């Protein structure tokens, strides 16, 4: 990042905070060459897809978040290029739905599908960690597909940390 005052590249971040709407990170930088300060904003690249969460709130689809989740689930079993390609396929499928808003469960479902083809245990890990994305049914299916057979409900609840507390829903 070049200093807008003198053009030097030797600067460092002195303060970093989220903007009020949470959509960007604002950084104050200090230029070591001219001793002046300037501000930069960092925003997520927009895919144009909005994810509808369980509480009905919307947030922009973040490919980095999906990629990180897949990487964590896969561990070092699968190389980075393969994970990125799989994450791109997830996004492409979501686009094919042709809707601007997709439920978070659809994102979770596509991720599970992609992970299952790479590593069934990773799909289970993802389903167990991302309960906000997936349902207990998804989780049960992953375990069954992985050959764990029928899972007793008690075990499932323990593993999946139970279904979401009952949603009061619209009045
Ligand atoms: Zn400068």
Question: Is the same domain home to 71 and 126?
Answer: yes
User: What angle do helix axes 120-129 and 104-118 make, rounded to 10 degrees?
Assistant: 150
Are the C-beta atoms of 61 and 49 separated by less than 8 Å?
A: yes
Q: Please report, rounded to a whole number, the percentage of residues in the chain having pLDDT higher than 70.
A: 71
The 3 state secondary structure assigned to 18-70 is ECCCCCEEEEEEEECCCCCEEEEEEECCCCCCEEECCCCCEEECCHHHHHHHH
- 169 pLDDT tier (thresholds 50, 70, 90): very low
Of 33 and 75, the structure prediction assigns the larger pLDDT to: 33
Are the C-beta atoms of 47 and 60 separated by less than 8 Å?
A: yes
Question: Is the same domain home to 95 and 36?
Answer: no
What confidence score (pLDDT) does residue 161 get?
47
Question: Is the same domain home to 107 and 148?
Answer: yes
Global pTM exceeds 0.75: no
36-95 confidence digits (pLDDT tens): 999 998 876 656 788 888 788 888 888 888 888 899 888 887 888 899 899 989 988 888
- The set of residues, in sequence order, having a beta carbon less than 8 Å from that of 147 and lying 6+ positions away, is none
- 34 pLDDT tier (thresholds 50, 70, 90): very high
In a domain, 93, yes or no: yes
In a domain, 166, yes or no: no
Question: Is the same domain home to 118 and 144?
Answer: yes
CA of 133 to the centre of ligand 1 (A): 45
In a domain, 3, yes or no: no
Question: Is the same domain home to 54 and 84?
Answer: yes
In a domain, 74, yes or no: yes
CA of 159 to the centre of ligand 1 (A): 54
CA of 170 to the centre of ligand 1 (A): 55
What confidence score (pLDDT) does residue 139 get?
64
Question: Is the same domain home to 58 and 140?
Answer: yes
Range of the domain at 38: 11-43
CA of 26 to the centre of ligand 1 (A): 18
20-31 confidence digits (pLDDT tens): 776 778 999 999
What confidence score (pLDDT) does residue 166 get?
46
In a domain, 171, yes or no: no
Question: Is the same domain home to 58 and 133?
Answer: yes
CA of 145 to the centre of ligand 1 (A): 59
Question: Is the same domain home to 24 and 93?
Answer: no
User: Does position 19 have pLDDT exceeding 50, yes or no?
Assistant: yes
Question: Is the same domain home to 82 and 34?
Answer: no
In a domain, 6, yes or no: no
- The set of residues, in sequence order, having a beta carbon less than 8 Å from that of 23 and lying 6+ positions away, is 43, 44
What confidence score (pLDDT) does residue 5 get?
94
Number of domains in the chain: 2
CA of 10 to the centre of ligand 1 (A): 8
User: Does position 142 have pLDDT exceeding 60, yes or no?
Assistant: yes
Are the C-beta atoms of 142 and 150 separated by less than 8 Å?
A: no
């Amino acid at each position: 990042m070049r200093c807008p005052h003198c053009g030097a590249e030797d600067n460092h971040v002195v303060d970093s905070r989220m903007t009020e709407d949470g959509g960007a990170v604002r950084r104050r930088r200090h230029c070591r060459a001219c001793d002046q300060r300037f501000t930069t904003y960092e925003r997520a690249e927009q895919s144009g897809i909005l994810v509808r969460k369980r509480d009905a709130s919307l947030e922009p689809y973040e490919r980095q978040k999906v990629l990180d989740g897949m990487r964590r689930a896969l561990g070092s079993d699968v190389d980075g290029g393969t994970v990125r390609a799989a994450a791109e396929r997830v996004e492409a499928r979501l686009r094919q739905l042709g809707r601007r808003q997709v439920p978070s469960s659809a994102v979770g479902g596509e991720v599970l599908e992609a992970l299952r083809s790479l590593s069934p245990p990773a799909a289970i890990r993802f389903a167990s960690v991302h309960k906000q994305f997936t349902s207990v049914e998804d989780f049960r299916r992953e375990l069954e597909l992985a050959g764990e057979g029928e899972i007793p409900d008690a075990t499932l609840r323990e593993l999946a940390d139970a279904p979401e507390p009952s949603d009061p829903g619209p009045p």
